[in-house]
Amino acid sequence: MGKDKDKNSVVLKVPKGTKDWDGKDMVIRDKIFSTITQVFKRHGAVTIDTPVFELKDVLTGKYGEDSKLIYDLKDQGGEICSLRYDLTVPFARWLAMNSSIQNIKRYHIAKVYRRDQPAMTKGRMREFYQCDFDIAGTYDAMLPDAEILRITCEIFEALGWKGRYTIKLNHRKILDGIFQVCGVPEDKLRTISSAVDKLDKSPWEEVRREMTEDKGLDGEVADRIGEYAVLKGGRDLLEKLQNNATLSANESAKQGLADLDLLFTYLKSFSVLDRVSFDLSLARGLDYYTGLIYEVITEGSAPQTKEGQDLQRAGKKEAKPNKGPTNIDGDEDRSNDPSVGVGSVAAGGRYDNLVSDFSKKQQIPCVGISFGVERIFSITKQRLAADKTAAPIRTNEVDVYVMAFGGKGFEGLLAERMDVAKRLWDAGIKAEFSWKVKPKLPQQFKAAEVNGVPFAVILGDDELAAGKCKIKEMGLAGDHPEKDGVLVEMKDLVEEVRARLAKKEEVEMLADGVNGMGVEEGAREAAKTG
């Protein structure tokens, strides 16, 4: 918006990096919430909630270089606070304050805040939801970690992604071991790890420049790291590293490799081994990770245009999009920047020392994952737009539209429509009717069709006089025998509507089952072949 000449007027806009949600977007987002929550509950999780802001000291020193993205709040009464950056650190703080809880499966769905460069249409925002699942407690190695990855696959399959995603994983102890054998000083381990973590966004040349010029690492050490950082694979890569005498002699790397060996065995049992990629470029920049780390990517995670991919490879810091802002800074929306992708849609790892950072009296090992709802939404919306067979998105869940018609002298049957709607509501059936006293029939049908209402109950003077009404399923083909509806006794209306709704739901569930059969068969085949 331009500068307003009237200093007393308010310029109506949302802050940069935020948006209002309404209509079909809310329907899609709520469906994502519901799907994720169902999987969390299936695995025995309970939910908690924490304040949207924390004492600044609680958040300080937990996020490495990303700490600069924290929103600080003005002193409002003697306490210096900041908006929460994620849901993990508040969870660890909560555990430290509730010492009687030594183990828990917890999920938390809430907004977090980061002063990052936004790309709104790609789900990269400053205010966004995270859906976290964490397992806290002392258990045998890699069992909770394996279940987290199984949960991840269940969620993306339930969202209809049908295998179009990859879980990249690595291990902080393997990384530390690699850095140590390559000659990285101990005081530079975390900062070099943060540089390596940028390999999904920048070419090796740019990462090497940051290591050497910005962070003072010896060039030969950086080159040795580069030989490892480009490696990715599965069990083949794990075995290659286990057979590397130099790496296996390092205690940190040895322990990390043993963890992954055990994890791969468990992932095979869970039929999700084919979904993971062991990727040594994955580092996860946050300081609190201590073991296994992972993130989920899909085809929208990277730039989708060749121009964007070329820009990344060239290591340019600023893109020159054809449309939108040409001067990219910390406040501009980069949605039209072809070098920006959606990024990872979920990420997490093991953090065994975070609770003890808050309470020296106890150490509670933890492992978890966070799903970025806005990024998942961005990908889901793109796929729905491209899928011509996708069912239309309904903005409400009304099952029945009560309508009336008549000839000359028609008075609208308002009292009768209200009575039928009341009967349906009393029975727990979602219903609507026109708020016009004398509505026209085409307008009533249009209102039902716009919202995708599956059934209409149609009232007429003659039918009512006979104690009957008509139930019509919307959208039937012209030659369908019930195209014009079916007469039913008014006294049986509720039971008839329930039966038809149940039958329609059964048909839709059967269709969903047929569509998903390939995924299930694929999982079984993967289990057979390992």
289 is in an annotated binding site: yes
- Rounded Cα distance between 210 and 233, Å, is 26
380 is in an annotated binding site: no
Burial class, 368, CB count within 10 angstroms (exposed 0-12 / middle 13-18 / buried 19+): buried
Nearest Cα to Cα of residue 90 among 100, 78, 81: 81
AA letter at 469: C
Write a three-state SS string for 219-282: HHHHHHHHHHHCCEECHHHHHHHHCCHHHHCCHHHHHHHHHHHHHHHHHHHCCCHHHEEEECCC
208 is in an annotated binding site: no
The CB density around residue 210, as the number of other CB atoms within 10 Å, is: 19
For β-strands 232-233 and 276-279, DSSP reports them as: antiparallel
The CB density around residue 5, as the number of other CB atoms within 10 Å, is: 6
130 is in an annotated binding site: yes
Rounded to 10 degrees, what is the CA torsion of 176, 180, 186, 191? Answer: -50
Q: Is the Cβ–Cβ distance between 262 and 141 less than 8 Å?
A: yes
42 is in an annotated binding site: no
Query: Strand, coil or helix: what is 107?
Result: strand
88 is in an annotated binding site: yes
288 is in an annotated binding site: yes
For β-strands 232-233 and 431-433, DSSP reports them as: unpaired
Residue ranges of E strands in 303-408: 346-350, 366-372, 400-404
Nearest Cα to Cα of residue 56 among 69, 36, 72: 72
172 is in an annotated binding site: no
- Known binding residues for L-histidine: 86-88, 114, 130, 134, 284, 288-289
- Known binding residues: 86-88, 114, 130, 134, 284, 288-289
